[in-house]
Structure formats: structure tokens, C-alpha cells
Amino acid sequence: MNYDIIIIGGGASGLLAAATLAGKGRKVALLEAQARVGRKLLSTGNGRCNLTNRNAKPSDYHGARQAAQYALKCWPPKRIEGIFDDLGVPCVADGEGRVYPMSHQAASVLDALRLACDERGAETLTEFEVTRLTRQGNGYAATSKDDRTATGRCALVCTGGLAAPKLGASGKGHDLLKALGHTITPRFPAIAALVTSPNAVRGLKGIRAEGMLTLLAGGKAVREEAGEILFAESGVSGIAAMQLARCVNEALRNNKACAVRLNLCPEPVDIARRAANLPRRTMEDFLSGIVPKRLGQTLVKASGIELTRLAGSLTPAELHRLRDTLTGWTLPVTGTLGFDQAQVTAGGASMKDFDTRALRSLRAPGLFAAGEVLDVDGDCGGFNLQWAWSSALLAAEGIERYLSE
């Protein structure tokens, strides 16, 4: 079957590009490997879909930041909200600028995109895993695993990154681009829990605390994040910790040792005064009320103080040590969880091979790409979907121009 455009990958960027181009009267085929389109979208924002962020700025992006900057300028969050409003999904924002559908259901975002594709006549072919993308005449032929073929005057690769393979992620899109002359930059998890020595966090699994995290790479503080810290079996999780994963993986790739410093007492507490006020309190309970009890006991032990001691018996040096641990407990970080547990991929198809304005390939004529398959990743908070939408819209404009040339 011959189309104007074949779009490979029916995730966030592929769906919006398909709906947009079909809306312009283009004959569009959306080729999706899985049985259903947009599975990852359903899991975003804990099922609520944090679809953009009103405060998005270039520094929220990594990798080819200038591409994100251009996409943000052309398709800022407010315009993206307008697009979703037009699709039947009015949006609301929280105090941090994170934007959600008014329904607070990711399913309504996916439904709106799916319905728009259908209503506008885009053809969706599911269980169509593209294993080969080749030049055919002036256009492209995409061949599926089971040997079906779709051809188009141009092709748009929207296959996403490597994060969350259970939701369909694979490196196949990168392979398709590589075969057409593109460079793939090193890929690693960008938003994922941090792995520390298991002994350090033993017994803390499931405990949550508010605090500040500082990532130390090669002994230097490189990034700081505040928020809820969630202790996990193999380390530290929660949004604030996961935001540090990109820096950890980058530093470890450069052979720099990493550690995370936890300030679990963001409001100042006078530990010496507390000990003077509560002299008969055993150290087992001494920090309860500041942090969860079990965490308090771990911090006491990490300060080299026995849990059976009474607070009134601590020496000034011990009180000092305890305060330092409470505000600067430092755990060596050996890595992050892998793509299985990660939300986003750093690295991907190099933007050096694309014209930033149209996301048009400089290596193969009539080839375009959008979304996470490219070497752009954002922080947590709606920035990655903002990139998926804005890059899809830039590519759709580029394709319109290409087809009219």
C-alpha cells in the first residue's frame, strides 16, 4: 500500500504526527509493533499523564539541548495545551507547572489521539514491527517481521528509546536509522533509581522521607535535588533521586566515582539541645519525629553510636557526628537501575545528522524522526512528553514542506 507518509512507532510522537498530517489531508500509515498503540502513554504520570510543563525551559533538557530549545520556542507548552484542548482534552496544571488532562487519566490523552487519527483517516497498522526500512524509488518501504510492506513518499521514525521494554521499547528504531547512515550516540538510563551498597540501605525498603540529595561525582557536587526520598531494596528512589541518574551514568562512564549525600533534616534541628531535653531517651528512638523510626536507627548506627545508649550520655563529638549524618549521610553510588526500570533514555540518534528546524535527515532524503529516538532527554515533570509532542509537530511541518516541494 502506498502512502504519503509512513510513520514508524505509534507512541506519543507518532500518534500526534499521524493525527496532524492526516488532518492536513495526507495519506498516513501509522505502523506500530505492539497490538495496541500508545501503551507507554497509559503509564505516564502514574496513569495521569503529565503531558507538559508550563515552566519548561532549555535547561530542563540534555543531550542535543539546542534542538529542544528550538522545539520549545516553536511549540511552547501553552501551544501544546491548545492542541490537546482542540483534541477534546482540556488541561490543568499543578503548583509546579506540571500539566495533566482535566480528567487526570492518561487514557483520555491516548483516546483523544487515537480517535483523531481515526476521524482524520490515518490508517493504523498494529503488530507491524518494522525490521527493515529501505529507500524505494523516491520514497521508503517499511517491511515488517512477518513480511508485510508499507511504502511512502517519506518516512518518520518515532520508535522511542530503550526505557521500559515491557511497554514496547527496543533499539530497533535506532537500528533502522543506523542502516540509513545515521550515528547513534551512547544510550543509557536517564531517569532511574540509584543503586547504592545494599548494606547501607538494608531494612529501609519502602521508607519515605523528605530531603535534599546532592550528587557527588569525582568528589565534586554536580547536581542537587529536593523532594521525597524513597528507600528501595538496592538503593534510593523517588523522583528527586531518579533525576540524578543521568549524571550518575555520565560520571561513571567517565570513570568518576559517585556518591549521593542525603540531607534528611531540611529544617534545622539542634541535636545537642534535643539530647539535653531528652536525656533518658534511648538512641533507638532518639531521631523518631525527625525521620521515620527505622531510618533514625540506621542514621544512629551510621554515626557509630550504639542504639542502647541514652541520649544524655552522648559526647559533644558524638552529637556532632550524628548531626552530620542526619544532614549529610553519604552513600557511594555504584550505578542506576537499567532500562527495565528506567523512564527515559539519554542518547540516541545524533541530532548532528538532522536539520533541527524540520527534524529532517541530512543523511537520507525524505527521512524524518521525532521523540525519544533522538538524542534529547528531559528531566522528570512533563518535559519528555513536551519534547515528544513538539518534535512531532516540527517534523509534521517539515514533512508538509517536503511533500509540497
Q: Does 344 bind ligand FAD (CB under 6 A)?
A: yes
Task: Please identify, using beta-carbon distances, which residue of 11 and 211 lies nearer to ligand FAD.
Answer: 11
Applying CB under 6 A, which of residues 3, 6, 7, 14 lies at the interface with ligand FAD? 14
Task: Please identify, using beta-carbon distances, which residue of 130 and 215 lies nearer to ligand FAD.
Answer: 130
Angstrom distance (rounded) from CA 137 to CA 366 = 11
Cα→Cα distances 379→17, 262, 321, 376, Å: 23, 20, 34, 10
Q: Does 40 bind ligand FAD (CB under 6 A)?
A: yes
Cβ burial of 138 (10 Å; 0-12, 13-18, 19+) is exposed
Task: Please identify, using beta-carbon distances, which residue of 182 and 274 lies nearer to ligand FAD.
Answer: 182
Q: Does 108 bind ligand FAD (CB under 6 A)?
A: no
H/E stretch holding 386 reads: helix 383-404
Q: How far is the CB of 166 from ligand FAD (least distance, A)?
A: 9
Give, as one character, the DSSP assignment of residue 371. Answer: G
Q: Does 160 bind ligand FAD (CB under 6 A)?
A: yes
Which residue sits closest to ligand FAD, CB atoms considered?
A: 11
Q: What does the radius of gyration of the chain's CA atoms come to, in whole angstroms?
A: 25
The DSSP-derived string for 329-349 is: EEEEEEEE--GGG-S-EE--B
Applying CB under 6 A, which of residues 103, 170, 341, 356 lies at the interface with ligand FAD? 170
Q: Does 189 bind ligand FAD (CB under 6 A)?
A: no
Strands 130-136 and 139-144, sheet pairing = antiparallel
Per CB under 6 A, the segment of 64-72, 117-125, 315-323, 371-379 that binds ligand FAD is: 371-379
Angstrom distance (rounded) from CA 385 to CA 395 = 15
Per CB under 6 A, the segment of 56-64, 158-166, 266-274, 279-287 that binds ligand FAD is: 158-166
Per CB under 6 A, the segment of 152-160, 196-204, 330-338, 349-357 that binds ligand FAD is: 152-160
Cβ burial of 255 (10 Å; 0-12, 13-18, 19+) is exposed
Task: Please identify, using beta-carbon distances, which residue of 9 and 235 lies nearer to ligand FAD.
Answer: 9
C-alpha cell at 130: 518494522
Applying CB under 6 A, which of residues 163, 241, 247, 262 lies at the interface with ligand FAD? 163
Q: How far is the CB of 334 from ligand FAD (least distance, A)?
A: 23
Give, as one character, the DSSP assignment of residue 122. Answer: P
The DSSP-derived string for 182-194 is: --B---EESS-PE
Instruction: Look up residue 299 and give its amino acid.
Output: L
Task: Please identify, using beta-carbon distances, which residue of 144 and 263 lies nearer to ligand FAD.
Answer: 144
Q: How far is the CB of 19 from ligand FAD (least distance, A)?
A: 13
Q: How far is the CB of 295 from ligand FAD (least distance, A)?
A: 26
Q: Does 112 bind ligand FAD (CB under 6 A)?
A: no
Q: Does 168 bind ligand FAD (CB under 6 A)?
A: yes
Angstrom distance (rounded) from CA 178 to CA 310 = 65
Q: Does 129 bind ligand FAD (CB under 6 A)?
A: yes
Sign of CA dihedral 228, 167, 377, 100: negative
Q: Does 77 bind ligand FAD (CB under 6 A)?
A: no
Contacts with 9 (C-beta within 8 Å, 6 or more apart), sequence order: 31, 32, 33, 157, 158, 159, 160, 173, 371, 373
Applying CB under 6 A, which of residues 4, 5, 7, 11 lies at the interface with ligand FAD? 11
Q: How far is the CB of 370 from ligand FAD (least distance, A)?
A: 7
Q: Does 10 bind ligand FAD (CB under 6 A)?
A: yes
Q: How far is the CB of 90 from ligand FAD (least distance, A)?
A: 18
Q: Does 371 bind ligand FAD (CB under 6 A)?
A: yes
Task: Please identify, using beta-carbon distances, which residue of 17 and 262 lies nearer to ligand FAD.
Answer: 17
Angstrom distance (rounded) from CA 203 to CA 136 = 59
Contacts with 204 (C-beta within 8 Å, 6 or more apart), sequence order: 231, 294, 295, 298
Applying CB under 6 A, which of residues 50, 196, 249, 325 lies at the interface with ligand FAD? 50
C-alpha cell at 395: 517534523
Binding site residues, ligand FAD, CB under 6 A: 8-14, 31-34, 40, 43-45, 49-50, 129-130, 158-160, 163-164, 168-170, 172-173, 343-344, 371-373, 382-385, 388
